[in-house]
Structure 1
């Protein structure tokens, strides 16, 4: 049985549970307890505070965990990064009152900075030769300058709307963060085998993201031209149609270039273009 530590609530919790569900890890929909076992896969999920996950994995309380890179960097626990998951992206930034001119990072010298991430901030300030007073706050860090508790803040930024509402502006991005799958360095062979299967499923889900399965009817005399503009994974599937001079062509397209490619296909005579979502892709 592989035990995975997961954030108990918040955006990272929701996206983690979606990933597990898409990987066909079935968990009880009933009221959540601290520890829940999957009904169809040898995994049990341990729900913790996000800042407790790195230590729980490093000490073996959990075998693996999904945690924000910001918490992993802050805690500096002896756990290894297994996989970057690509969701829950944000950044840790220094912000200051928007009405004050900002000459550079030297502005923070001698200032009081409120943060929930004193380790990351301390390392950054030391690297830049800046001596500031770090005031540790848990909770709503962004209100600190407005109530006179600090001159500036160091906190997570996603959209930046919270900064704007508190009359702050982001001036230095210290690090970028995303969800990480981290692991204990001493997993048994049995647990490593379970982890490998879980990673295989996660990779299949990840590969299918933003991909579309496209079917179309294409004139045979334009087939080479049509294939030349398709950036599919491999050579597309081509099958003959009952109508003379036509064939059916199947391929996979990335959504970011989808409309550009579809326009070219139509100009080359492709017809009856059918677009389907892809749930998983097995390499």
Structure 2
């Protein structure tokens, strides 16, 4: 039985939705600090700040957890990165730790930052190493939120996490450099991952979660196809793999099914119908396990 740490805050909604879609729903009340997952492989579940999770995983309080690559680097925790999860706080994709200054600053490159500049950030360790490697002496001020609002009145530079840079620009800032890209990831305690019993349970849970990620934005499409239209219809399918084709009993028709991206289905169905496909079904997919 494995113990799991899930992230609170910006990653919380996306993470809970992922577990729900994987049939591992996290059940809790608003004041419940000990949620449950109804699965025999899962014991204790805690929802914690993602900043804390890597250290707790390293210390063995939890077997696996979900956090950001940024917090693994910032904490310096020695953990096993098991799988990347393709989502951030608002949806699919990665995020960036960037360096920004006020838009009126006459600099466009991090190497132009003046020595002894005041820098506010939630990532003091990552930031300190970055400027140390550049050979620029700076003063670091740990931030506990709204970092972008502190420039230029209180600080000269902000090092912050962003997806698009929109919030920084709205606050009159410009990005002049990047420290790293980050993404959401499943991490494991190294001893737990080396334990054959726990490793099996971890791998099974990860398989379910990745199956949901893989299935997102995809649908199964099924149809009946006259024999003389089969090749043209197969050629028109933007399939992830070759479609499954089966002969229908007693008539000169085939049954055809394949997986396609949901974003193209509304233009694909009329095209297939025009080519002769009949009885077309669009079927939602909850998991794809490769």
Distance 1:208 1:162 in 2: 31
Does structure 2 retain, via aligned residues, the 8 Å contact 1:25–1:41?
A: no
Residue in structure 2 matched with residue 209 of structure 1 by the alignment: 216
**CA 1:223–1:76: 2 relative to 1, 3 Å:** same
Deviation track 1:25-45 (CA, whole Å, cap 9, x = no partner) reads 243343453333322332121
Deviation track 1:220-266 (CA, whole Å, cap 9, x = no partner) reads 21212322343434432334568955433211112355466556535
Distance 2:130 2:29 in 1: 44
Deviation track 1:16-63 (CA, whole Å, cap 9, x = no partner) reads 111221221243343453333322332121122221111100000111
Distance 1:153 1:270 in 2: 57
- RMSD of aligned Cα (Å): 2.4
2:128 paired residue among 122, 126, 130? 122
Check if 1:99 corresponds to 2:129: no
Partner of 1:251, secondary structure, is strand
What is the correspondence of 1:218-237 to structure 2 with a 5 Å cutoff?
218-237=225-244
Alignment size in residue pairs:
281
Report the Cα offset of residue 93 of structure 1.
0.6
Distance 2:284 2:130 in 1: 44
Report the Cα offset of residue 176 of structure 1.
1.5
Partner of 1:130, secondary structure, is coil
Residue in structure 1 matched with residue 198 of structure 2 by the alignment: 191
Does structure 2 retain, via aligned residues, the 8 Å contact 1:26–1:41?
A: no
Residue in structure 2 matched with residue 80 of structure 1 by the alignment: 80
Deviation track 1:55-78 (CA, whole Å, cap 9, x = no partner) reads 100000111110011111111111
**CA 1:37–1:53: 2 relative to 1, 3 Å:** same
Residue in structure 1 matched with residue 36 of structure 2 by the alignment: 37
Distance 1:30 1:104 in 2: 48
What TM-score does the superposition give when structure 1 sets the normalisation length? 0.88
Check if 1:133 corresponds to 2:139: yes
Does structure 2 retain, via aligned residues, the 8 Å contact 1:114–1:137?
A: yes
- Structure 1 window deviating more from structure 2 (109-118 vs 223-232): it is 223-232
**CA 1:122–1:77: 2 relative to 1, 3 Å:** same
| Runs of 4+ off more than 6 Å | none
**CA 1:282–1:78: 2 relative to 1, 3 Å:** closer
Distance 2:35 2:255 in 1: 47
Does structure 1 retain, via aligned residues, the 8 Å contact 2:85–2:210?
A: no
Partner of 1:279, secondary structure, is coil
Distance 1:26 1:262 in 2: 34
